Amino acid sequence: MPATSLVKAFNDHSATIGVAGLGYVGLPLAVEYAAAGFEVIGIEPNETRTAQLNAGTNYIDDLDDAHVASLVEQGRLRASTDYSAAGDVDVFFLCVPTPVTEHKEPDTKYIEAATRSIAKHLRPGQLIILKSTTYPDTTEGVVQPILEEAAAEKGLALGEDYFLAFSPERIDPGNKEFTTANTPVVVGGVTDACTEVAEAALRAIIAQVHVAPSPKVAEMEKLLENIFRSVNIALVNELAKLCDRIDDLSMWDVIDAAKTKPFGFMPFYPGPGLGGHCIPIDPYYLSWLARRYDFETSFITLAARVNEGMPYYVAEAVVEQIARQPVRLQDAKVLVLGVAFKGNVDDTRHSPAETIIRLLREKGIDKVAFADPHVESFAVHTANSDTRPVQKQSLTAETLQAYDVAVLVTDHEAFDTELIATHANAIVDTRNALSDITDERRSKICLLGGGHENGTLAEVEAVPSSTA
């Protein structure tokens, strides 16, 4: 039976693994399987990435360069721009992008395209596992019909000849403690046999696999994970803006005090806005789904709008700092410290820095540059959907002195806070990264959520929800 044969192939590591999409999720997954002794074929339409990987060159910060090169050299890991080898693959992991449209509705075109390519090569004994974050019913409502159409022509039955499941990715870029190998995963198959085979595939490299009763449960739990963070970050962001109106009340001190409670509280921190692929996107996936059932996710949508408004709040704070200096707005120079969406990574997807820079340019501040030890180049989308590059600068005393305001957007450990505090003319700190500065230099620092006396953010009006 195909199911029995597949489980055996996963147990003895003789199965061939296919990974569609070799980005922040797909490549680490491919590397784990290759390191466990499996033959891995990656499908990546980006020709540059494919060429790099086949040459043994790693392009993901979280992976070890020598380790990736060794797996490629041993012939365990290779990449292709097409699905010509799909017929040789026993299990396909779909790790493709799941963006939203301009109307904030799910865009499943990458999932559909990858599924159609796999369907052309569908054969008995194949397993397809969707890992891309998406809304409940994507596996059964989008992927399954495409596979079934191809299967019908070949006389294949789902759950008997081929198998389908959903197992959400749990990648945290920059996290050195939890990786693909030691992070528990969830999986739900379309049938019991699908679940059994998918569980065996995952247990080949991951010790803890939680079996969900269906793909819908697995899809929904992934949204819950990310919306949980979105809602709680929105809460502290809103309270941070309140603290900015009150004398001598720092939200950061409030959180430090609250997190001493050993139960019933988990610390979240304010910031310039959310980034990465999942958290800025997932609330809209769920709200779109809810509307199909005549339901409005008011609480979740409001939290998303609060977080989307933070870059506007920060941009106004920068303008306020410029207004306090003897320089015209159109002549002002702003240095953005960090354009990655989180500290110590090179991932710029949906980074709040992009919105902040765009807003500053729209206000007439054309001299905006960035410094980021993890990012070599950065561009910002304009109102016409074009992209315009942002000049990169080295973080030196001379650079800091040459700019009227430095706005710290990303809390990279590589940033020298002493250097920044000493040489910057004015600082907007959105991450409390300069908390160790307690001397007279503190007067130059405008801290998000730091309280009215700690900066000037109290004078900033929140962006209207209609523009968030």
Per-residue pLDDT reduced to its tens digit, 32-55: 999 999 999 999 999 999 999 999
Domain stops at, among 196, 213, 230: 213
Q: Is residue 379 part of a domain?
A: yes
Q: Read off the tokens for 131.
A: 């890992």
Question: Are 262 and 364 part of one and the same domain?
Answer: yes
Question: Are 322 and 442 part of one and the same domain?
Answer: yes
Question: Are 127 and 45 part of one and the same domain?
Answer: yes
What is the separation, in whole angstroms, between the first and last Cα of the chain? 54
| Pairing mode, strands 162-166 and 185-189 | antiparallel
Question: Are 202 and 313 part of one and the same domain?
Answer: no
Buried b (16+ CB within 10 A) or exposed e, 360-374: bbebebebbbbbbbb
Output the CA–CA distances (angstroms, integers) from residue 361 to 265, 335, 429, in the order listed. Answer: 40, 13, 20
- Mean pLDDT, consecutive 10-residue stretches, the chain (468 aa), reads 92 97 95 97 96 96 94 97 93 95 91 97 97 96 98 97 97 87 96 98 96 98 95 97 94 97 97 88 91 94 95 96 93 97 93 96 95 96 84 97 98 97 97 95 95 55 40
Question: Are 134 and 192 part of one and the same domain?
Answer: yes
Q: Domain range for residue 403?
A: 240-273+309-467
Q: Is residue 405 part of a domain?
A: yes
Number of domains observed in the structure of the chain? 2
Question: Are 150 and 37 part of one and the same domain?
Answer: yes
The burial class, CB within 10 Å (0-12 / 13-18 / 19+), for 424 is buried
Domain stops at, among 195, 213, 231: 213
Question: Are 256 and 385 part of one and the same domain?
Answer: yes
Q: Is residue 290 part of a domain?
A: no
Question: Are 178 and 253 part of one and the same domain?
Answer: no
Question: Are 178 and 261 part of one and the same domain?
Answer: no
Q: What is the pTM of this model?
A: 0.91
Q: Is residue 222 part of a domain?
A: no
Q: Is residue 230 part of a domain?
A: no
Q: What is the pLDDT of residue 172?
A: 86
Active site residue 446: no
Question: Are 380 and 427 part of one and the same domain?
Answer: yes
CATH number at residue 417: 3.40.50.720
Q: Read off the tokens for 163.
A: 């198998």
Q: Is residue 409 part of a domain?
A: yes
Q: Is residue 13 part of a domain?
A: yes
Of 95, 243, 278, 446, the active-site residue reads: 278
Rounded Cα–Cα distance for residues 345 and 258 (Å): 28
Which contiguous run of DSSP H or E holds residue 42? strand 39-43
Question: Are 266 and 154 part of one and the same domain?
Answer: no
Q: Is residue 366 part of a domain?
A: yes
Q: What is the pLDDT of residue 462?
A: 42
Write the pLDDT tens digit of every residue in 165-220. Answer: 999 999 888 888 998 989 999 999 999 999 999 999 999 999 999 999 999 999 99
Question: Are 251 and 160 part of one and the same domain?
Answer: no
